[in-house]
Amino acid sequence: MRRARCCTEGPTEVDVMFESIIDEVYGYDPNSEYKLWIRNPHRLGLILRVPSEWEAHETPEEESS
């Protein structure tokens, strides 16, 4: 099982850099597992900030609502 971590202030610069490298190698995925994982606690107010390009996209479940 893969575990993600994030401080309560949001993803660190290293987290954002790592995700951008993954996006470059495998293609940009607005709904990657990590981006979705970060959005959930952000939506609940547990994480203060996320990169603006990460919060703008909707998941397929949200689109059908």
Q: Is residue 19 within 8 Å of residue 35, measured between CB atoms? A: yes
Amino acid at 40: N
Global pTM? 0.64
Torsion of Cα atoms, 5 then 11 then 16 then 19, to 10°: 30
Rounded CA separation 42/20 (Å): 19
pLDDT per position in the chain (65 positions), as tens? 556 565 677 888 888 999 999 999 999 998 888 888 888 888 898 888 888 888 765 555 555 55
Place of tokens 């390009």: 53
Ranges of each domain in the chain: 13-56
